[in-house]
Structure 1
Amino acid sequence: MADLDRSSDDVSTDSKDGDSRDSKMDFSGDEEKLITRMYNLVGERWPLIAGRIPGRTAEEIERYWTSRYSTSE
């Protein structure tokens, strides 16, 4: 039973790990080009852009765009 509790803790810790977020932030060149094209067409309509990229959420794409192209004003 203690093993069961420990494994569930490991899962929750892994999901919060920075590594899993970094791997999701690895966008292919094709994805980057598509995001840029779609952004130029529709603006910050992240769900619409995410609908064109299988396996990506609107939040991931917005986070990617913000980290890559945000400007300090």
Structure 2
Amino acid sequence: MDRSNGSLEKNSKTSDDRETKEVNSTAQKFVHFSEEEEDLVFRMHRLIGNRWELIAGRIPGRTAEEIEMFWAIKHQDK
């Protein structure tokens, strides 16, 4: 598992030596946001930054930890 950049992915090789990435089960749990939720997270983050509790308060059923994990996963390669 590569933790050098905060990634939750593990690199592995396929039988033809192509490298694939596997996201651990914790990360997969948080990846599934609706398009409306994603849009709201991005707009709120632009306004208030990394204030995950405030952002989560605007999205029913989401916790600050879920929002932060979503953000980290979306921005891990940038």
Pairwise CA RMSD: 1.9
Alignment pair present for 1:34 and 2:40? yes
Which structure ranks higher in relative contact order (CA pairs < 8 Å, sequence separation ≥ 6)? 2
Q: Identity rate of aligned residues, in percent?
A: 50
For 1:67 and 1:23, the matched residues in 2 are separated by 11
The structure in which a higher percent of residues are strand is: 2
Runs of 4 or more above 2 Å deviation = 20-25
Q: TM-score with structure 1 length normalisation?
A: 0.65
Structure 1: which 5+ residue stretches go unaligned?
1-17
- For residue 64 of structure 2, the aligned residue among 40, 54, 58 is 58
The alignment of Structure 1 onto Structure 2 pairs a total of residues equal to 54
Shift of 1:70: 3.1
The structure in which a higher percent of residues are helix is: 1
Q: TM-score with structure 2 length normalisation?
A: 0.61
